[in-house]
Structure 1
């Protein structure tokens, strides 16, 4: 499926409210949640290692082989994912071999599942590649989709979303 509608100046995007409305009054550098997320998982190597962990991959040799990463890159990125609490190491031992470590998703790592679903859904819209993997509901076989929903349970599109500073939003909700 190709992207069919080009963005224009009159198409809505996330609105800015409160102190965030004046974007030149401050910088988001260093405290932006998207920036922090990208620091943890914003590399191709991190995401494809996490993909393999979501598919059940655990052992270093398998993870490096299935991702096509060099051993050095895979080792460095896996260490980072462990240090950041997305994966944990768990010992295992094959008969007659020394104890080794495998990599298991932590609860924190599992919370990335909706992000993976959203990225795969978006990736399916790109032209030029046929085939691939599709995530489906194991019970009924229907494809998974990611939905943006507010805490009150309303589905929210970009035209209905607003950005504000966190302190402002917390203070407004407490009032």
Structure 2
């Protein structure tokens, strides 16, 4: 049973946020968008998700302003999906969830490591580079296979 989308009896930003991003496929779509995936078929290939599920998640993320559709072809009309500022603001939460999963569910080590493009250092739990100390933003990093890959 899904949580209601109204919160007359509670004032909870976590519950409201989970209504937008609390679904497994939604989080994986957002992860893929951070990894540079933009087109429907590429999301489907990367995730192995059913077309109807992907269509629903992309539409919802666009409706909520997390992604925006950008045309890249006129005939036939085709779109890319790009993170909005609101979507990019999910990056710290995604990286915190990644670090938590690495600590608790990666017995062979992290399957993916986040590297600083500027110096090659590794991102820490505090979203900083372990080598140069820079506070890292999504456009300054790249995921690379880790020891648990």
* Common fold by TM > 0.5: yes
Which aligned runs of 4 or more in structure 1 are off by greater than 6 angstroms? none
Structure 2 partner of 1:163: none
Select which of 124, 127, 139 maps to 2:118. Answer: 139
SS in 2 for 1:126: helix
Q: Name the structure 2 match of 1:70.
A: 50
Q: RMSD of aligned C-alpha atoms? A: 2.3
Instruction: Tell me the equivalent position of 1:80.
Output: 60
TM-score, normalised to structure 1, is: 0.62
Is 1:111 the equivalent of 2:111?
Answer: no
Task: Pick the structure with greater CA Rg.
Answer: 1
Show the 5 A alignment for 1:5-84.
30-84=10-64
Q: Could you list the runs of 5+ residues in structure 2 that have no partner in the other structure? A: 1-6, 128-149
> Which of the pair is proportionally richer in strand?
2
How far the C-alpha of 1:64 sits from its partner, in A, is 1.3
Deviation at 1:37, TM superposition (A): 1.2
Shift of 1:127: 3.8
* Larger mean Cα displacement after TM superposition, 31-40 or 120-129: 120-129
Partners of 2:123 and 2:83 in 1: how far apart? 20
Q: TM-score, normalised by structure 2?
A: 0.72
Alpha-carbon distance, 1:29 to partner = 5.0
Secondary structure, aligned partner of 1:136: strand
CA positional deviation for 1:126: 2.3
Give distance in 1, aligned partners of 2:113 and 2:95: 9
Q: Which structure would you say has the larger RCO, counting Cα contacts within 8 Å and 6 or more residues apart?
A: 1
